[in-house]
Amino acid sequence: MARDTDLTNPIFTDPDKAREHFEAIRWPDGPYCPYCGVIDRIAPLGGKSMGPGWYHCKDCRRKFTAAVGTIYERSHIPMTKWLLATHLLCASKKGMSAHQLGRMMGLPYKTAWFMAHRIRESMREMFPDASPIGGEGKTVEADETYVGGKEKNRHRSKRNAKHIGGVGKEMVFSLVERGGKVRSHHLTNISAKNLRPLLNQQLADASKTNLMTDGEGQYRLVSDMFKKHEVVNHGIGEYVRGDAHTNTVEGYFSILKRGIVGTYHHVSQQHLKRYLAEFDFRYNERTALEVTDAERAAKVVFGAVGKRMTYRQTNGAHA
């Protein structure tokens, strides 16, 4: 979208403006029939009973709106609210809790929670395999961190540094291309067996990519896949040696952890991958790469196309 979007934009309050905005994202080249794919025999349906936004396909003779086949199709939540929730989640660097989202939109907590998860889902599915990272002349940093866990375990881990990564915490493994994108995964452990397929899937060509890790040792298991593997040894206080460092991935982890601890407080194991999708998405579509809030939100709305609701609103309404 060319124009920037702020909260006074009528798409967040006016149903017609919201619909037109969605249609422009859904159908950048004009409407097409979601049933038979026809593009040139589409006519708007007048009719007072249908309301605006309905089209008719003269080929298969079916009626449709831009929402058909998307997560918005059978939603009782108006498009204005979907656009607003998407904008708020896209524009907040550390995310936004369902409580705050609900308060800001005048919607019940459970509705906001449901919407936030649907929006994260739209963020997630756009990315896997969309464009591999790394490749010729590129440097990728890999590291793991631990998030979540129950409060009592978190206190114990704070008391004893050796318990970091211990009971109740979930491991997040991230790959970040310097100056590029991040890919995060929820893993149970780091082994050659689970890293190799993941690296092959995510990287353009590992054999042409430089890898940077810290001195934990487990990444030596996959050194042979890379053009070059450099290690900085945090254990002996070494953080930067020439261009060998893991500052990029650590910077990403600090945003992720501030968001998960500060905004979401507790993230269940079941939903962790959705939060990772949210944080990866905002990082990958960041302002530094000249992506505006409005463009970011439009990508999420576009990502929602083709995804119907697969679980009900009553599903476990907690963080």
Residues that bind Zn ion (CB under 5 A): 33, 35-36, 38, 57, 59-60
Distance CA(211)–CA(134), nearest Å, equals 9
Q: Is-contact 66 53, C-beta < 8 A?
A: yes
Taking the complex as a whole, the smallest distance from the CB of residue 45 to Zn ion amounts, in Å, to 13
Cα→Cα distances 92→87, 102, 287, Å: 9, 15, 12
**Structure tokens given for 116:** 């936030």
In the complex, what is the shortest distance from the CB of residue 37 to Zn ion, in angstroms, rounded to a whole number?
7
Closest to Zn ion by CB, 39 or 167: 39
Q: Decide whether 38 or 198 has the Cβ nearer to Zn ion.
A: 38
Nearer to Zn ion, 33 or 147 (CB): 33
Q: Which two tokens stand for residue 290?
A: 């000249």
SS3 annotation, 82-130:
HHHHHHHHHHCCCCCCHHHHHHHHCCCHHHHHHHHHHHHHHHHHCCCCC
* Min dist. Cβ of residue 150 to Zn ion (A): 53
**In terms of CB distance, is 65 or 174 closer to Zn ion?**
65
Closer residue to Zn ion (CB): 34 or 95: 34
Q: Are 293 and 5 in contact (CB under 8 A)?
A: yes
